[in-house]
Chains A and B, each alone.
Chain A
Amino acid sequence: MSFTRRELLERCAAFGALTISTSIPLSSLAYAWDEAEKKIPTPTCELGPFYKRQAPTTSQLRAPGDSGMPLALSGTIYDVRGEVVPDAKLEIWQTDNDGHYDIEGYRYRAVLEPGAKAAYAIETVMPGHYPQRVCQHVHYLVTAPGHKPLITQMYFATDPVFDGNPDKNYTRDPLLTSRELVRPVMIKGDATQVVAVVNFDLVMETL
């Protein structure tokens, strides 16, 4: 069983575990706490033309020998109160390193069910550029009971399109709806393998 911060506060007070020494009403204190933890919903993007249903459940999208820089992509799914969404389901899809979507099959397409901690992680490759889109991107569809479906796309701050300045140049892709969606890329590894590491947390709105 899990509790929201407000529920936890109220239960603590009910069991005497929390002493309110000021004249601030409990409801106000709970509200202030909630406000401090509030998260902004992840900006939405269009679904795109190549979403495909029934992708396999896997976190390993990269196969041995695949071209392109390995990419470790991870994050956590929250609601706007800052609580994790334990029953979320993610669908992730992207092009291969040459900028091609797999229409016939399910390469670089995955379904993830992160579970109680709402944390996800996939191993994939940096998607390529393709002619009709300006920027490299990864598609997300996140669904969870009681929440609005979240459709968005994640972009890379290292994308050459941004000329090293995504703050200034993110609008070069007309479909990139918010600077928030451009994520920093950390390069990790050693002489044998270099991996791009990106964190992309998602915030869902409640219905």
Chain B
Amino acid sequence: MRGLVLAVLMISAATAAVASQAVKVQLPCESRDQMLSPTGAQAVVLCKDKSIHLVNLPDGSERLLFPAERDVSALSFSQDGKWLAAGFHDGTVEVLPSQGTAATRRWKADARRIDNLYFFADGKMLFVSAMNHPGTIWELSDTPTQRATLPDNFGGVASVAVSPDGKLLVAAGGDTVVRWYDTSTWQMSREYDGFLLDTFALTFTPDGKNLLAGGADSRITIFDVASGKQVRQLPPQMGSSVGGIDFLSDKSRVMTDYFDNAGEKPPHRLVWNLTTDKSTPVQIDFRPTCGSVVDGKLWLCNTDGRTLTITQHD
């Protein structure tokens, strides 16, 4: 077990508008890239030596998930944080418990590198897509079984989301087309080809009435789920792509991650108020190494390479 460096403390943030509470733990390796679990109970640490560790928060205990030679290409937590799915360059997928001793399931899901993994809310199904290949749906029984293939024209799947009631899956293809599937039949029910560029983030509103899509066109597009029609678009952040969209606790505001298309500026975050369509920048004085919305609040990671500090932002 790694030593606990510091428990919980209060720190002052870069601006008076943000108060943050921090957890600080020692990293098991040199790392500039981490991923938080949806509950905030754990962090996956991607090490410089390409090994991957799981660190429990806030006590800092850790275990090796995958040695460097396993060549992990994709990772995803289940929505309750209890399971972790890992995809590999050889097309293998593993689903393992984030805690406890439940059996790991491992199977060959594709012939190519796994690029996308997405757990359904109940944790019983997993969406898998490999490089340039169509998405597939797997039932996570003791022996995972493929339930459906979701065809596209080319380019595989860039992002995916399932509606809160679990009845609808929406997948944005590398071919820039957004496709809607009925999860009871896996038939495509709708297709939207109005985007010319890729969609990297899809999120349903908590009431399931709207779908938010964002990508290389630098803006969030809002769809009415019932009709499939575009409702409106939020103003663009020129020169940036939308990389992630998450709802905050009041359900009318979304945290939006943007990355610079030229790769020259650090990523930035805006909070969009969907009632007013106005945005507020998230003011921080560091370059986050991971970020996630946990219990409706933004958690951000900051690291010097050896220690990990996680701050909660209101």
Which A residues contact B (CB, under 8 angstroms)? 44, 46-47, 49-54, 99-101, 103-104, 130-132, 141, 143, 149, 151
Return B214 CB to nearest CB of chain A, in Å: 13
**B156 interfacial contact with A, CB 8 Å:** yes
Return B307 CB to nearest CB of chain A, in Å: 26
- Do B261 and A50 have beta carbons less than 8 Å apart? yes
Rounded to whole angstroms, the CA-CA distance of A101 and B175 in the bound complex is 17
- Do B155 and A151 have beta carbons less than 8 Å apart? yes
* Residue from the list A44, A49, A151 in contact with B216, Cβ < 8 A: A49
Across-interface contacts of A131 in B (CB, < 8 A):
262-264
* Residue from the list A51, A130, A132, A143 in contact with B198, Cβ < 8 A: A51
Rounded to whole angstroms, the CA-CA distance of A24 and B227 in the bound complex is 65
Return B179 CB to nearest CB of chain A, in Å: 15
- Which residues of B232-247 are within 8 A (CB) of A? 238-239, 241
Rounded to whole angstroms, the CA-CA distance of A39 and B107 in the bound complex is 31
Rounded to whole angstroms, the CA-CA distance of A53 and B153 in the bound complex is 12
- Do A52 and B132 have beta carbons less than 8 Å apart? no
CB contact under 8 A between A130 and B131, given known A149-B154, A151-B154: no
With A53-B197, A103-B261, A141-B155 given, name 7 new contacts (CB 8 A).
A46-B131, A49-B158, A49-B241, A50-B197, A51-B176, A52-B176, A130-B262
Chain B, residues 161-172, CB within 8 Å of chain A (1/0): the string is: 000000000000
- Do A49 and B155 have beta carbons less than 8 Å apart? no
* Residue from the list B154, B196, B239, B241 in contact with A47, Cβ < 8 A: B154
User: In the complex, which residue of chain B has the Cβ closest to the Cβ of A46?
Assistant: B131
Q: Closest 8 CB pairs between A and B? A: A131-B263, A149-B154, A132-B263, A47-B155, A47-B174, A53-B196, A151-B132, A53-B176
Instruction: Return 24 A-B CB contacts under 8 Å, by A number.
Output: A44-B112, A44-B131, A46-B115, A47-B154, A47-B155, A50-B198, A50-B216, A51-B174, A51-B198, A52-B196, A52-B216, A53-B196, A53-B197, A54-B196, A100-B262, A101-B261, A103-B217, A103-B218, A103-B239, A103-B261, A130-B263, A131-B263, A149-B154, A151-B154
Across-interface contacts of A101 in B (CB, < 8 A):
261
**B200 interfacial contact with A, CB 8 Å:** yes
Rounded to whole angstroms, the CA-CA distance of A131 and B265 in the bound complex is 10
> What is the total number of residues of chain B having a CB less than 8 Å from a CB of chain A?
26
Across-interface contacts of A44 in B (CB, < 8 A):
112, 131-132
Chain B, residues 187-205, CB within 8 Å of chain A (1/0): the string is: 0000000001110100000
Rounded to whole angstroms, the CA-CA distance of A156 and B241 in the bound complex is 28
Across-interface contacts of B158 in A (CB, < 8 A):
49
User: In the complex, which residue of chain A has the Cβ closest to the Cβ of B177?
Assistant: A53
User: In the complex, which residue of chain B has the Cβ closest to the Cβ of A98?
Assistant: B262
Across-interface contacts of A47 in B (CB, < 8 A):
132, 154-156, 174
Return A122 CB to nearest CB of chain B, in Å: 20
- Do B154 and A143 have beta carbons less than 8 Å apart? yes
Return A181 CB to nearest CB of chain B, in Å: 15
Return A51 CB to nearest CB of chain B, in Å: 6
Across-interface contacts of B241 in A (CB, < 8 A):
49
Among B131, B156, B176, B261, max chain A CB count under 10 A is at B261
Chain B, residues 78-117, CB within 8 Å of chain A (1/0): the string is: 0000000000000000000000000000000000100100
CB contact under 8 A between A141 and B264, given known A46-B131, A49-B216, A53-B196: no
Across-interface contacts of B196 in A (CB, < 8 A):
52-54
CB contact under 8 A between A149 and B176, given known A47-B132, A131-B263, A132-B263: no
Across-interface contacts of B197 in A (CB, < 8 A):
50-53, 103
User: In the complex, which residue of chain A has the Cβ closest to the Cβ of B132?
Assistant: A151
Return B228 CB to nearest CB of chain A, in Å: 19
Return A173 CB to nearest CB of chain B, in Å: 15
- Do B262 and A99 have beta carbons less than 8 Å apart? yes
Rounded to whole angstroms, the CA-CA distance of A132 and B261 in the bound complex is 10
Rounded to whole angstroms, the CA-CA distance of A132 and B239 in the bound complex is 15
- Which residues of B133-185 are within 8 A (CB) of A? 153-156, 158, 174-176
- Do B155 and A51 have beta carbons less than 8 Å apart? yes
Return B217 CB to nearest CB of chain A, in Å: 8
Across-interface contacts of A103 in B (CB, < 8 A):
197, 216-218, 239, 261
Across-interface contacts of B175 in A (CB, < 8 A):
53
Chain B, residues 213-233, CB within 8 Å of chain A (1/0): the string is: 000111000000000000000
Among A51, A141, A143, A151, max chain B CB count under 10 A is at A51
